[in-house]
Structure formats: C-alpha cells, structure tokens
Amino acid sequence: MIENVGNLVCPAAFDLGEAHRVVVFSVTEGDDKPLKYNDMFSKADLVLLNKIDLLPHVDFDLESAVAHLRKINPRCMVLPVSARTGAGLDAWLQWLTGAQAMVMAGRAAALAAQ
C-alpha cells in the first residue's frame, strides 16, 4: 500500500507500481473534490466515500459528488463507508480480498508462462 496524506495531485502523475488505485474521499472535504483533483480520481479503481455518518451535519451533495466523479471516471466503483458506524466496511474488505486474488492470479499466470 502506498499512502498519500498530502497533495492529491502528486502521486497521480506517477506510476508507483500499484496494482489498484483507491481514493479515500471524505464528505467533510466537499463534493467538488473530483473536479479539483481530477488526475487522482480519473485513475481510481475505487473511491471510498468516507465519513458518511456525518452527511446530515455537513454541506455535501452526495448526488453531485458522484455525478462529478462519473464525468471524470465512469468506470470506478464507489463505496460509501464509515469507520465510526462500520457501514460499508464489509464491502470494502470484500473488494480488497477480490483485488488481491486478481493480482495473485495474474502473478501465477505470469510465472506459469515463463
């Protein structure tokens, strides 16, 4: 795993050898983030829409956020999650398990082809 906790623009421009790209998008950051950081979102395989338990308390339009994301990247998956309530975490773990299995199967096939 490669984590970037700073500027969302920097790591999107480089191939860091990752098999999948996951963006954690917090509802506290505003629904316009996909438009502001389209490089990061355009290459994401999955967007975790984080802190959904705070939706009633923040100015965040869920439909607009997903629409902005779909304009930039219609193929990525979006999973709403909340670490506080546990909502969506099972789906996130299932995605991780499936992604890992795909990577391992690809590596096994590459080794078998040698």
Whether 4 is in a domain gets the answer: no
Q: 């299932």: which residue's tokens?
A: 94
Provide the domain limits for residue 18: 11-113
Whether 3 is in a domain gets the answer: no
pLDDT (0 to 100) of residue 73: 95
Whether 18 is in a domain gets the answer: yes
For residues 98-108, average pLDDT:
84
**Which of residues 20 and 68 earns the better pLDDT score?**
68
Q: Which CATH number do you get for residue 56? A: 3.40.50.300
CB 23 within 8 A of CB 40: yes
Q: What gap in Å lies between CA 65 and CA 78, rounded to an integer? A: 11
- The per-residue pLDDT for range 47-93, each reduced to its tens digit, is 999 999 999 999 999 999 999 999 999 999 999 999 999 999 999 99
Q: How many domains does the chain have?
A: 1
Whether 106 is in a domain gets the answer: yes
Whether 1 is in a domain gets the answer: no
